Amino acid sequence: MDGVKVNVWWGIVEGNDPKIYDWRAYRSLFQLIQEEDLKLQAVMSFHQCGGNVGDIVTIPLPKCVRDIGATNPDIYYTNRRGSRDVGCLSSGVDLETLFHGRMGLQLYRDFMKSFRDNMSDFLAFGMITEIEVGIGPCGELRHPSYPQNKGWVFPGIGEFQ
């Protein structure tokens, strides 16, 4: 083994207030990885962790985003029965300034710029060898068309959101 892969959870780092990023836990983890002379693949995780069948860990989207979702649930994917999937933002908000003057795409950009700025020493050292971006449910680039917690059963057909 020469490295590890780590999810970098948006909901942890920008947990409460817009554009206030707390990287302390990740810096501590990355320092441990560096001390062991391991490489790191970082996954920018812009989705919720947990909330599905069998999940024991839950990391929601940032509170500042969830607060907007409480008054404007259209920021989430919605199926024809009106069921909302709060695990990630709908691509319909990518260019809408609904988030304290920022568009959905700006939320992601600002987070990744903050990562770059706060982890520049690890990047310069060469420890971080890859950065992956996970933006849909479960980090996949897909629409939440088949959530098990809403009754979907494998190998059923998904539903348009």
Name the residue type at position 134. Answer: G
Per-residue pLDDT reduced to its tens digit, 56-114: 999 999 999 999 999 999 999 887 778 888 888 998 999 999 999 999 999 999 999 99
Q: Tell me how far the alpha carbon of residue 70 is from its chain's centroid.
A: 18
Contact 103, 93 (CB under 8 A): yes
CA angle at 29 for the pair 115 and 21, rounded to the nearest 5°: 35
Contact 87, 55 (CB under 8 A): no
What pTM was estimated for this model as a whole? Answer: 0.86
Kindly report which listed range (19-23, 25-29, 39-43, 143-147) carries the lowest average pLDDT score.
Answer: 143-147
Contact 65, 89 (CB under 8 A): yes
Per-residue pLDDT reduced to its tens digit, 135-155: 666 666 555 555 666 666 655
Token readout for 69 is 């979702």
Tokens 């441990």 label which residue?
32
